[in-house]
A = this chain, B = another copy of it.
């Protein structure tokens, strides 16, 4: 590697990122430097860019989804299965940094709720180096970061989405999952929704119904395994409920997943579910208005199970990798736009205009 690493630095919100050179950091024992092969641009990166995420301070190298090859290791480091890692290995890394000591890490075993959780590309410590984001040629990974070795045949742009969208969805399906034969409604067919379709299929869902307002997304949802598509733009909630009931002998869906982030989505989702059904909610990353719920008909009488789910940890990253590795779902089509690092601002703008389902940088 050159003595210098180029990275896209965000110096002010909503302003173009600047390509800056940083020195290669020293490696302490167990840390490593990875050369990035693919960096995903997550929907939340737009919130970050526009200053809507209070955790983020400028200047910062953003990008929390990344995948690449080991450039150098400080001493020895093993992957999840105890295999020693070596320079040149293709790897993917956990985007979160967990304390391992707090109530949520130790007692609940939910590192995603760690009270000191930090994220690469968001608020990882920069005392050592600024190279702790993925919009860059390389990233520094702290010793506590879990690393999973990929295969040479695992294509970077196919696996990079496991880092955030895939792992987040895996976490939610760990907390509640459909049964064999269930009718599952997936609301929102962006990256999380597409993973949700795949996880529902893997859980043995009988029928998957995908709801979205964008035709391209619905088309891709079909390719991921959705049996029925509902165009939310042209379908009333009454029609949606009727459609779902027709598919379920009048009962309603067994399971629904909120993947759109829209407040009305949960209101509608609860109406589509049958009694004793499950409503899974990994989708709310920000919210524009309160959601209105009918305590009798949506909750008590419906005997519903509602399960929120927040981000993910390394166990979920591995589960997302496992689902991609099955080669049953067109994850290669999820990333619709690719850009070189130098075009990072074009990439953000394309996403801002909602042209892409998902975009990635290939530094």
**What is the minimal beta-carbon distance from A230 to any residue of chain B, in angstroms?**
21
Asked whether A293 lies within 8 Å of B291 as measured between CB atoms, the reply is yes
Asked whether A101 lies within 8 Å of B113 as measured between CB atoms, the reply is no
Asked if A301 CB lies within 8 Å of chain B CBs, one says yes
Asked whether B303 lies within 8 Å of A304 as measured between CB atoms, the reply is no
Which residues of the other chain, B, contact A112 by a CB distance below 8 angstroms?
303
Asked whether B284 lies within 8 Å of A296 as measured between CB atoms, the reply is yes
Asked whether B81 lies within 8 Å of A103 as measured between CB atoms, the reply is yes
Asked whether B303 lies within 8 Å of A308 as measured between CB atoms, the reply is yes
- Measured in the bound complex, the distance between the Cα atoms of B157 and A194 in whole Å is 37
A80-B106, A251-B103 are contacts. A284–B299 as well, Cβ < 8 Å?
yes
Choice from B102, B297, B308 contacting A304 with Cβ under 8 Å? B308
Closest to A316 in B: B107
Bitwise interface map of A from 123 to 146 toward B, beta carbon under 8 Å scored 1, else 0 = 000000000000000000000101
- Measured in the bound complex, the distance between the Cα atoms of B4 and A76 in whole Å is 35
**What is the minimal beta-carbon distance from A125 to any residue of chain B, in angstroms?**
15
Asked if A202 CB lies within 8 Å of chain B CBs, one says yes
Which residues of the other chain, B, contact A108 by a CB distance below 8 angstroms?
276, 315
A37-45, A65-73, A319-327 - interface stretch: A319-327
A266-B295, A322-B206 are contacts. A113–B284 as well, Cβ < 8 Å?
no
Interface residues on A, range: 35 or more
A276-B104, A299-B284, A308-B299 are contacts. A322–B290 as well, Cβ < 8 Å?
no
Asked whether A180 lies within 8 Å of B304 as measured between CB atoms, the reply is no
- Measured in the bound complex, the distance between the Cα atoms of B99 and A81 in whole Å is 12
Within 8 A of B (CB), among A239-298: 249-251, 258, 263, 266, 275-276, 281-287, 290-298
- Measured in the bound complex, the distance between the Cα atoms of B146 and A106 in whole Å is 9
Closest to A113 in B: B275
**What is the minimal beta-carbon distance from A269 to any residue of chain B, in angstroms?**
11
- Measured in the bound complex, the distance between the Cα atoms of B299 and A308 in whole Å is 5
Asked whether A285 lies within 8 Å of B300 as measured between CB atoms, the reply is yes
Asked whether A300 lies within 8 Å of B323 as measured between CB atoms, the reply is no
Bitwise interface map of A from 77 to 95 toward B, beta carbon under 8 Å scored 1, else 0 = 0101111000000000000
Asked whether A308 lies within 8 Å of B302 as measured between CB atoms, the reply is yes
Which residues of the other chain, B, contact A340 by a CB distance below 8 angstroms?
none
Closest to A286 in B: B296
Which residues of the other chain, B, contact A322 by a CB distance below 8 angstroms?
180-181, 206
Asked whether A304 lies within 8 Å of B301 as measured between CB atoms, the reply is no
Which residues of the other chain, B, contact A187 by a CB distance below 8 angstroms?
none
Asked if A219 CB lies within 8 Å of chain B CBs, one says no
- Measured in the bound complex, the distance between the Cα atoms of B102 and A314 in whole Å is 11
Instruction: Report, nearest first, the 8 A-B pairs whose CB atoms are least far apart.
Output: A181-B322, A202-B204, A284-B295, A284-B300, A306-B306, A290-B292, A299-B308, A81-B249
Q: List 26 A-B contacts (CB under 8 A).
A: A81-B251, A106-B146, A106-B313, A106-B314, A107-B318, A110-B276, A113-B275, A170-B180, A173-B180, A180-B202, A180-B203, A180-B322, A180-B323, A181-B318, A206-B325, A284-B295, A286-B296, A287-B295, A287-B297, A291-B293, A291-B294, A291-B295, A300-B310, A301-B310, A305-B307, A306-B307
